[in-house]
Amino acid sequence: MVKETTYYDILGVKPNCTNDELKKAYRKLALKYHPDKNPNEGERFKQISQAYEVLSNPDKRRIYDQGGEQALKEGGAGGSGFSSPMDLFDMFFGGGFSGGRRRGRERKGKDVIHQLSVTLEELYKGAVRKLALQKNVICEKCEGRGGKKGAVQVCPTCRGTGMQVQIQQLGPGMIQQIQTVCSECRGQREIIDPKDRCKVCQVNIFFCKNNLNKFRHRTILTTSQQVQSFY
């Protein structure tokens, strides 16, 4: 019997749910309430991320079940271990860590520097120019899953841990255990059969390089910007 069910209620699962059920619930809700898709649901996205971060950790889940959120704070287990909900999202969907803390709930892209030729008259008076830029967006076909619904499976090699343990014999009665990243899922804990991959983004979201794995490129036309003189 658990003391609190708030985190379970946020994810829409029962207190006796399995890890696979937790993952499916988080995947569905995180994609639905992601700030890129629902800018006004930042707080909801944060709650979903916090609930999953706690319940997906066996030790934190045990503490939460026994004493609720207060027990997590008193036991020093309240820290998420992730820089932000966005980091958890990126890690879950194969994007990895960004290397820095994002501030606030707004996810800002990198500054874009574009060389533009202007005349002296435009430099003096100012001018309006339109620029075509590329933006990474969640694939509308697979909704960032990388394949059809139900195609994502827990890696059978590492059983969803993302790690493998290798045992080496050093000598009579002496062995050495070495923990390495799973060679099957490459540490992502889940895999997709090649035949089930999304035909639109043409990518397995867990194996793609350059951290563009859950996105496809879309050319967009930015809002016209005023070219201003610096003199």
Q: How far apart are CA 200 and CA 147, in angstroms?
A: 9
Longest Cα separation, the chain: 84
- The model's pLDDT over 16-30, given as tens digits with 9 standing for 90+, comes to 999 889 989 988 888
Looking at residue 12, what is its pLDDT? 92
Per the domain annotation, does 98 fall within a domain?
Answer: yes
For the chain, state the CA radius of gyration: 23
Other residues' Cβ atoms within 10 Å of the Cβ of residue 212: 14
Looking at residue 87, what is its pLDDT? 65
Per the domain annotation, does 132 fall within a domain?
Answer: no
Per the domain annotation, does 7 fall within a domain?
Answer: yes
Looking at residue 92, what is its pLDDT? 63
Looking at residue 118, what is its pLDDT? 84
- Report the percentage of the chain scoring pLDDT > 90: 5
Q: Structure tokens of 93?
A: 């969907």
- The model's pLDDT over 70-121, given as tens digits with 9 standing for 90+, comes to 887 776 554 444 446 666 666 666 553 333 334 344 456 677 777 888 888 8
Per the domain annotation, does 214 fall within a domain?
Answer: no
Domain count across the chain = 1
Domain that holds residue 73: 1-108
Looking at residue 182, what is its pLDDT? 86
Task: Write the CATH number for 88.
Answer: 1.10.287.110
Per the domain annotation, does 100 fall within a domain?
Answer: yes
Contact yes or no for 55/6 (Cβ under 8 A)? no
Looking at residue 34, what is its pLDDT? 82
> pLDDT means per 10 residues in the chain (231 residues)?
86 90 89 80 86 87 86 61 58 48 50 82 83 73 76 84 80 80 83 80 43 38 41 38
Q: How far apart are CA 158 and CA 154, in angstroms?
A: 9
Per the domain annotation, does 56 fall within a domain?
Answer: yes
Per the domain annotation, does 185 fall within a domain?
Answer: no
Contacts 24+ apart (CB under 8 A), 64-69: 64/2, 64/4, 64/7, 65/2, 65/3, 65/15, 66/2, 66/3, 67/3, 68/3, 68/4, 68/6, 69/4, 69/6, 69/7
Per the domain annotation, does 29 fall within a domain?
Answer: yes
